[in-house]
Amino acid sequence: MKNFIALFIAFVFLFQACEQKKEEPKVEIIGQPELTLTGDRMTPEVLWAFGRVGGQEVSPDGNTVLYGVTYYSIEQNKGNRELYTVDVNGENYKRITESPKSEYNAVWRPDGKKIGLLTSESGSYQLWEMNPDGSGRIQISDIEGGITGFKYSPDQSKILYSKEVPIENKFTDIYAGLPQATGRLNDDLMYRHWDHWVDTYSHVFYADYDGSKVWNEKDILDGEPYQAPLKPFGGIEQVDWSADSKSIAYTCKKLTGKAATLSTNSDIYVYNLESGKTMNMTQGIMGFDVAPLYSPDGKYVAWESMEREGYESDQNRLFIQNLETGKKTYASKGFDQNVGGLTWSDDSKYIYFTSDWHGTFQIYRFGIDNSKIEKLTEGLHDYRSVTFSGEKLIASRSTMSMPTELYAVTINDGNASQITFTNKDLLDQLTMGKVEERWMKTIDGKDMLTMIIYPPDFDPNKKYPALLYCKGGPQGPLSQNFHYRWNYQIMAANDYIIVAPNRRGVSGFGQAWQEQISGDYHGKSMSDYLVAIDEMAKEPFVDENRLGALGASAGGYAVFYLAGIHEGRFKAFIAHDGIFNEEAQYLETEEMWFENWDKGGPFWEKDNKVAQEAYAHSPHKLIQNWDTPILIIHGELDYRVLYTQGMTAFNGAVLRDVPAQYLHFPDENHWVLQPQNGILWQRTFFAWLDKWLK
């Protein structure tokens, strides 16, 4: 998702720790903006004060973990990412960079003597190197336009990297003599994507490297008009070196224009440096094939694969090819879960990965010799990335009550020890609400897990307002993520009980449960929402007369739809970037494979019963029933769900004399990424809820 993370540059936060003991580390955070806590409750300002940990890399000798932390300045409305190291046992914590320019894609050089990283100190993002303690920093690349990611070859003789290649304007004759013309002329689809106009391709290059510079740049796509890595979410993890440094495997969807909008069929291609030839390794597999990863011994390549063309939420499977025999194996066959974030053991005998199941992400491994999948961890938390380190795994972990930190997980028993304590100082001052798992029966007798988050200092003898959280997606996990906008604990800190059902469409409960929502946004998932809030409304500590519903994207659709059918249950609604008019959405968005799969096809296919049923239940057709206050939020740079969806919903509410507010962000996309906008979002959010529910 790096295409959506603002590369905030400026204010430097000095984050430094004293020598710490493993049992009770003493962490001193200095240089943060002045923050006065008004109590022990979460606030928007506290939420933006947390350091955001990510990108762990274990040194070649297996002893040291390199990682990054991003801090934000509310005053300057910017963020800055710095690099740190810590031993795998949690000792010898060090900050190794201190710069107003953020550092990204930091990795160990194969010999362990240097750390490579991307920063924009020279004006564009280039490859720099430094010693493991942060000293001796020098610029290695000087690529025109900068680069977006890189990897060292195993033999350290070359570097592959990705960069943006401008798309040639096919209408140059028409633009002749008009240097200030701003009009965009297009004659095919996919002219813009998620939050940007498509003016460039992302391509993979490689170059020679001698420890001080790179040269002899070679575009392995040879100017082809395709994206590699795939936009908008793909990064350098979609490219890998073979163990002998002679080949590069990369992810690419070799389609353009209308064809690219209709298909999800990406493949893994292998480019041979010596011959200059390219081979399609996944020919015939019609869904997404991404993230190839060669085994350290050079015998195998693993990747993540989906089966069906057009279904972007198909089951993510583990595939492995034996490079000696050419045999491909569907390694996770029979494992009714998604597979992601692959990493090999050093001896090439195991592949470790994370997978969501029943509202959590856990660590699993696949054995090459026995072809078995083992679950290594348990608990109410999310492990979202994992790196091999001998007898341990270094993994990032979060909960609904704690931002991401790094843990050392013992492989033989799954026990975990926290090794970074980035946010300990703030967390020690806060009281979090209890998180509870509840299983409920749906109207058709299915078991549905619902997460309940209680206010801090919860008193069962009091009555609290409750909020129904409607998940976006519509597919994907509802797990233990610590979100920086839809944060359950900040809602609970404002004395609301949060009800978050894993309704139909949520992953981690088998593929059939996830797939049910396609073509049926209005059906069983809506009844699941109502079951969850009705069940909780029976509790003596829930005030059934003070219920709200809120959500974003497909969750915004749910809010708009519930506003037309709720029969007086709710007293307030909040919809962010929600789909209001399904027919308009079909022609306003750009990934047509999504609309065709989830709606069953275009609205003009009158004989298509699935599609006609879906469009017949568009939320805008229920606006005559709206009678409940609603807050609508949208970003103008959201090209996935256009801001006009939110604007038309707001206009309709006002015309019907329904109390409404519309918060419009001209410089935000499908998310809210800037600190001050994020705080404005939170303040508006709670002011609206407090007005109607308290």
> Which residues are known to be catalytic?
553, 638, 670
Q: Which residues contact 481 (CB under 8 A, 6 or more apart)?
A: 382, 398, 400
- Tokens encoding 50: 């947390």
What is the helix (H) or strand (E) element at residue 407, kind and residue range? strand 402-410
Question: Dihedrals φ, ψ of 563, to 5°?
Answer: -60, -25
Angstrom distance (rounded) from CA 479 to CA 470 = 13
Q: Is the peptide bond before 296 cis (omega within 30 degrees of 0)?
A: no
Question: Dihedrals φ, ψ of 358, to 5°?
Answer: 55, 50
Spatial CA neighbour of 132 closest among 150, 146, 111:
111
Q: Which residues contact 366 (CB under 8 A, 6 or more apart)?
A: 318, 331, 332, 350, 351, 353, 372, 373
Strands 196-197 and 192-193: antiparallel
Angstrom distance (rounded) from CA 433 to CA 156 = 50
Q: What is the DSSP letter of 23?
A: S
Three-class secondary structure of residue 511 per DSSP = helix
Question: In which residue are the tokens 């029976």 written?
Answer: 538
Question: Dihedrals φ, ψ of 231, to 5°?
Answer: -90, 150
Three-class secondary structure of residue 602 per DSSP = coil
Question: Dihedrals φ, ψ of 263, to 5°?
Answer: -125, 145
Q: Residue 632 class from Cβ within 10 Å (0-12 exposed, 13-18 middle, 19+ buried)?
A: buried
Its sign, for the CA torsion 36, 41, 44, 48, is positive
Q: Which residues contact 598 (CB under 8 A, 6 or more apart)?
A: 474, 517, 518, 519, 521, 614
Angstrom distance (rounded) from CA 376 to CA 408 = 13
What is the CA 522 to chain-centroid distance, rounded? 26
Strands 542-552 and 289-294: unpaired
Here the contacts of 206-211 (C-beta below 8 Å, separation 24 or greater) are: 206/153, 206/158, 206/159, 206/160, 206/161, 206/248, 206/273, 207/141, 207/158, 207/159, 207/161, 208/157, 208/158, 209/140, 209/152, 209/153, 209/156, 209/157, 209/158, 209/159, 211/114, 211/156
Edge-to-edge strand ranges of the sheet holding 300-305: 289-294, 300-305, 317-322, 328-330
Angstrom distance (rounded) from CA 117 to CA 48 = 25
Specify whether the backbone of 78 is left (phi greater than 0), alpha (psi in -120 to 50) or beta. Answer: beta
